[in-house]
Amino acid sequence: MVTTGFGFCLLISVLATLLFALRNENRVNSYDWSISLLLPFIIMGYWLKAQITTREAALVLFVFINLSTTVLLAIILFSMLRHLEMPVGPGIKFLVYAMAFAQLFPVWMTFRRGVPEDMIRITDTGVGYATRMVGGSFAFAHMTFALALLIVVIGVVAILQARRKTYSRRMLAFYMSFVSAGILMYALESLLDMNFSALPYLYMAGNVLLVLNYDRARAHDISSLISDNQKVMSRGYVAIGLNGWFLCANEKCFDFLPDLRQQRADTPISERTQAGKTLGSVIDNYNSTGLTTSTFRSGERTFAYEVTPFRFHREGMVQGYLIDIRDATEETRNMEILSDFNTRLNQEVAEKTRSVENMQEKLVLSLADMVENRDSNTGGHVKRTSDVVRILVEDIQAGHYFPLSDELAKDIVRAAPMHDLGKVSIDSGILNKPARLTPEEFAIMKTHSTISGQMVRILLEGMEEEHLVETAYHVARYHHERWDGKGYPEGLVGEMIPLEARIMAVADVYDALVSKRVYKEPMSYDKAAQIMQEGMGTQFDPNMYLVFLSCRSRLERYYSLVQ
């Protein structure tokens, strides 16, 4: 009966350990794995002890069971300290394990002297062989070691409670209950001289609970959640459950968020503390925006963080969030200094650029004035055509006649004064001739558009606004092209002519019609409008017809003021 019961405990404990091994964990806690692996061997010792009939075999099993139990207690102690974030150095570990194995010395001495007949008592109870060790230093040493460990654990817990250190009370209660129950059962069984022990059932239950609660244990063990690549001493790490409950954090995190020390594990993050508000905001920001990295401020310091969902199994569900926090105060300060420097540098560059551009534009306008001073036929032409271009462009944008961006619209207006720069190279006799030009003279006059384009390239060379340079070049070179292909200098047809040049052509011709020249009087507005409309589709872009009609009255008001 007893053998069957112990065998059942052994089977269940082995199955629990196999389940532990098959969980496909990302990273295994070596302490918990050692506990789960050691418990079936201890239970197996009890199962064999209930079946042996010799004193030598009984002594070996006593040694095996007691030594395994002592080592188990040491491992449980170290596991508890790890969960409580109290690291143990290798020297202390060596000392504790050495004390556990020191129990072999009395056994060795016993075997050298010979096993006394009255030391081991074996009784056939009918339900199994009850094997008892009567007296001896071995049982006393084992009990002393177990009680010493229990006292250490109680002392550690008392210190932690006094320091209000954050840790999982549930995991601590599990370990304390398991260790206390085991020592108490062992003590009672020894005092009452009981034939059989109930410890295998406790060990079986402990192994099952350990496996079932392994995920919970890992969720409260920050070192289990951090990969080796992530572990940086200068960084803080904090784990938050999917339900928003605080799980655990490392010591550095408490330096960054001091209020977090008041937060108990397995409780909702308190919004009454600055740490709680900060962490709650971090999780809310991650859930709402999906951003994994950002910054927050705490006092005078700036911190950068990264949120990483964590899972315990490679293909398991997400169990919570691991937040990696680092002090970015100095980095942020340097970035602000660099940003201020860049801002000032950009401002200085922008000012220098504006200065150069202003000089270029003044040079262009000076050349345009020089052209007008040489050409007695076109006094004020540059100023008027620039204003007409502005009126046309504004109307095009308001009526959406063409897809004209704000940048291009601005560039066309700025480029308008440059359209006749090439006339500076035309002989004054041709430029100011009051009569019709001969074919030869007209051929020379036509070269001004090509020369205008070349001068724009030269004058605006190096300007950052390449789009303005290109627009001005098109205006200067192509404003005498015609929609029907009969213009110059290239005889472009239709939309081959850049839009800015088509707009300039309308302004240039209209001004010529309604303005006074040495060889003619200004034409009436009605007559000029008739000629402009008749030229739509031949000389001008037919799409400019509606534009011209729309702004005709505005053009006439303008010329009535400037003439």
Q: How far apart are the C-alpha atoms of 46 and 263, rounded to whole Å?
A: 44
Class at the top of the CATH hierarchy for domain 352-562: mainly alpha
Best-predicted range by mean pLDDT (47-51, 127-131, 287-291, 471-475): 471-475
Q: How far apart are the C-alpha atoms of 493 and 541, rounded to whole Å?
A: 10
Q: How far apart are the C-alpha atoms of 544 and 267, rounded to whole Å?
A: 73
**What DSSP line would sit under 340-399, residue for residue?**
HHHHHHHHHHHHHHHHHHHHHHHHHHHHHHHHHHH-TT-TTHHHHHHHHHHHHHHHHHHH
Using a cut of 0.85, tell me whether the model's pTM lies above it.
no
The pLDDT of residue 499: 93
Six-digit token pair at 393? 């462009």
Q: How far apart are the C-alpha atoms of 459 and 468, rounded to whole Å?
A: 12
Question: pLDDT for 263-302, tens place per residue?
Answer: 877 788 877 888 888 888 888 888 888 878 888 887 788 8
Question: pLDDT for 367-417, tens place per residue?
Answer: 666 555 555 444 578 888 889 999 999 999 988 888 889 999 988 998 888
Q: Is residue 222 pLDDT above 70, yes or no?
A: yes
What are the C-alpha distances in Å from 395 to residues 90, 112, 317, 454, 546?
Answer: 84, 115, 61, 30, 10
- Within the chain, all domains assigned CATH 1.10.3210.10 are found at 352-562
| Nearest one of 524, 525, 518 to 551, comparing CA atoms | 525
- Within the chain, all domains assigned CATH 3.30.450.20 are found at 223-327
Question: pLDDT for 496-513, tens place per residue?
Answer: 999 999 999 999 999 989
The pLDDT of residue 396: 92
Mean pLDDT value of segment 10-23: 86
Q: How far apart are the C-alpha atoms of 45 and 179, rounded to whole Å?
A: 19
What are the residues facing 516 on neighbouring strands?
none
pLDDT, greater one: 123 or 8? 8
Mean pLDDT value of segment 526-552: 93
Six-digit token pair at 206? 């402990």
Which CATH architecture describes the domain 223-327?
2-Layer Sandwich (3.30)
Fold annotation for 2-220: Rhopdopsin 7-helix transmembrane proteins (1.20.1070)
Q: Are 172 and 84 in contact (CB under 8 A)?
A: yes
pLDDT, greater one: 286 or 366? 286
- Within the chain, all domains assigned CATH 1.20.1070 are found at 2-220
Q: Are 47 and 125 in contact (CB under 8 A)?
A: no
| Nearest one of 57, 429, 4 to 201, comparing CA atoms | 4
Q: How far apart are the C-alpha atoms of 193 and 48, rounded to whole Å?
A: 19
Six-digit token pair at 546? 């509606």
